């Protein structure tokens, strides 16, 4: 899959306006504002079993998604950062 960068933007007093009209300090197509244009990878599909996730939690403890959730339904978010 070739992934294209969304770079359409308009400069404003406060930063940059993207093609949807959202304004931010970074110009679209740069750093944290590197959004894809058109199709982009979204990982496993609906209907597939969620791959296991093994990493650490905020306490530094080992984490295993399916072991932790047991037989509960779950919402799993991939987000960019809690720092910026």
Query: How far is the CA of 75 from the CAs of 29, 57, 70, 78, in angstroms?
Result: 29, 16, 13, 10
The CB-of-72 to other proteins minimum distance in angstroms stands at: 5
Sketch the per residue contact string, 25 through 64, with other proteins: x for CB under 8 A, - otherwise. xx----xxxxxxxx-xxxxxxxxxxxx-xxxxxxxx--x-
Q: What is the dihedral of CA 14, 16, 22, 25, to 10 degrees?
A: -60
The CB-of-27 to other proteins minimum distance in angstroms stands at: 12
Q: Which two tokens stand for residue 61?
A: 């403890």
Contacts with other proteins, residue ranges (CB under 8 A): 3, 5-6, 12, 14-15, 17-18, 20-26, 31-38, 40-51, 53-60, 63, 65-66, 68-69, 71-84
């Amino acid at each position: 899959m070739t992934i294209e960068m969304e770079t359409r933007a308009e400069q404003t007093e406060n930063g940059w306006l993207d093609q949807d009209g959202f304004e931010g300090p970074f110009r679209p197509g740069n750093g944290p504002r590197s959004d894809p244009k058109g199709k982009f990878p979204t990982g496993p599909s609906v209907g597939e079993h969620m791959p296991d996730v093994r990493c650490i939690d905020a306490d530094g403890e080992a984490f295993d998604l399916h072991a932790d959730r047991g037989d509960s339904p779950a919402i799993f978010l991939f987000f960019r950062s809690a720092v910026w």
